[in-house]
Structure 1
């Protein structure tokens, strides 16, 4: 299918002729000077990949009609919110919305049943909606460099999750609900506000291969950490 690559072209607006290319499959508009997008962008219903990243874009138009869209890149923009209509993108597998000014994210994203990877690092989030526990197919969740204080208890439903990165947030309580996830392999909790680890059963984190606890003030090590080490999980801690 046709690919249109207009990335890095210095565009300040989109030519109306693009509207007629209804068969376009991949559209790259990254690294331009676009501050707004026309509503007709949502008419390109064959789109499977859409890259809008790295430009002073102030808002994302309604893309609800893009029912074939699988990859959406909306990083490093001038936006402060994501539209709730993104929850209607029923085929979406990847959403990258990093390095924006987001203080919250819409509950509707919890409806993205085919989402495999979600990247929200480098924003101003303090919490996530409980509906994100409904992302049954999610395998990677990247939340570094936010101000998240706690995770929803519903995260124990993310049974396909492999990678969870929470480096440089504001967690004060260890997210024990993660310990029951059967496929979690990498957990990064570096540079949070944790001062103690909970008591967990020795079979906690059954599939974990890497646990990063560096730059935390943790004076004691509970037995389950030793169990992880003996099972072959690489555990990283700052020496005290």
Structure 2
């Protein structure tokens, strides 16, 4: 039996019973509105793609997929992620973009193997402090969420390389990010930030690209010029 099952784009309205031993399961681009609890009974599953269909909820049983490394749950009809996702101890990638998520479970902070987290295009106004526990995270994409801030615990994301907050609702510059030792790209385009704080010269020690376009910034502090002088690309809207 093949250890990969691809039923994507086949018009499914319910999941057929599947045999044990699966490592990859693709159910994307169908018409599923619910998932059976037995979908969590595949201990060897590494990849699960459920994206692009009218799914209304994800079952808590997905938390039993403790070998899962890649989970795609984008463009669904969900407004919450199950708390049990925090049990996915092997998860390296989570894509939950373009949903109606307004809150995230605190349990996501237990995903210590997570390398990339994509949450853009949701309704998040705040993030749980527990996300500071994502010590392997390298990419975090939060664009197009009405976020008003980021947790102070973000200064614990020591492996983070890329952070995108384009089109959020930030009014204050997230100072905690300036202490991240490996952050290379920071996108703050199209937020509501109107001033930048004074930061120490050693702020953003690894930054290579800072995008400040479409911000109303009457004054640019010295540390921004210092970043440019050391080779960081700083994008600003012309006055």
- TM-score, normalising length from structure 1? 0.98
* Structure 2 equivalent of residue 108 of structure 1: 107
Cα distance between partner residues in 2 of 1:42 and 1:153: 34
| SS of alignment partner, residue 125 of structure 1 | coil
Cα distance between partner residues in 2 of 1:14 and 1:78: 17
* Structure 1 equivalent of residue 6 of structure 2: 5
* Structure 1 equivalent of residue 213 of structure 2: 214
Cα distance between partner residues in 2 of 1:182 and 1:14: 45
* Structure 2 equivalent of residue 47 of structure 1: 45
CA apart distance, 1:208: 0.2
Runs of 4+ in 1 over 2 A off after TM superposition: none
CA apart distance, 1:229: 0.2
CA apart distance, 1:65: 1.4
* Structure 2 equivalent of residue 31 of structure 1: 29
CA apart distance, 1:205: 0.3
Q: What is the correspondence of 1:49-198 to structure 2 with a 5 Å cutoff?
A: 49-61=47-59, 62-198=61-197
| SS of alignment partner, residue 118 of structure 1 | strand
| SS of alignment partner, residue 41 of structure 1 | helix
After superposition, the C-alpha distances for 1:61-104 in whole angstroms (9 at most, x for unaligned) are 12121110000000000101000000000000000000000011
CA apart distance, 1:224: 0.3
Cα distance between partner residues in 2 of 1:173 and 1:207: 22
| SS of alignment partner, residue 11 of structure 2 | coil
Cα distance between partner residues in 1 of 2:152 and 2:83: 22
| SS of alignment partner, residue 179 of structure 1 | helix
CA apart distance, 1:223: 0.4
Cα distance between partner residues in 2 of 1:125 and 1:64: 22
In structure 1, list runs of 5 or more residues that go unmatched: none
| SS of alignment partner, residue 64 of structure 1 | helix
After superposition, the C-alpha distances for 1:166-225 in whole angstroms (9 at most, x for unaligned) are 000110110011101000000000000000000001111000000000000001110000
